[in-house]
Amino acid sequence: EPGQRLTITCQVSYSMGSYYTAWIRQPAGKGLEWIGMKSIWYSYYKESLKSKFSIDLDTSSNTVTLNQQNMQPEDSAVYYCARYHSNTKHQQS
């Protein structure tokens, strides 16, 4: 629904200090799009999406939440969370 808030929570079983959690989405019939990733130390977002999304960590429950305000029809997609090793070099898009 346009204008609504998106909140998706991902529960993880690994140390948030050792790994990033990345969020990726895939609109129907299209390729994967990297949104961003976060650890307890740093966060990175795709430049064109950083004003739309935020990622929050809750270390007490080991959950990572993707938030977006004011959803639009083009934001309709399957959203994935994925572990990303913190020692892997990252090139921002």
Residue 48 counted as domain residue: yes
Give the range of the structural domain holding residue 31, as residue numbers without chain letter.
6-85
pLDDT digits 0-9 by tens, 1-55: 678 899 999 999 998 888 999 999 999 999 999 999 999 988 999 999 999 999 9
Residue 31 counted as domain residue: yes
Residue 92 counted as domain residue: no
Torsion, CA 66, CA 69, CA 70, CA 71, rounded to 10: 0
What's 63's domain CATH number?
Answer: 2.60.40.10
List, in order, residues 6 or more apart from 65 with CB less than 8 Å away.
7, 8, 9, 10, 55, 56, 57, 58
List, in order, residues 6 or more apart from 80 with CB less than 8 Å away.
23, 24, 25, 26
C-alpha 88/C-alpha 90 separation (Å) is 6
- pTM of the complete model: 0.86
For the chain, what is the domain count? 1
Contact between residue 40 and residue 18 where contact means Cβ atoms under 8 Å apart = no
Contact between residue 86 and residue 39 where contact means Cβ atoms under 8 Å apart = yes
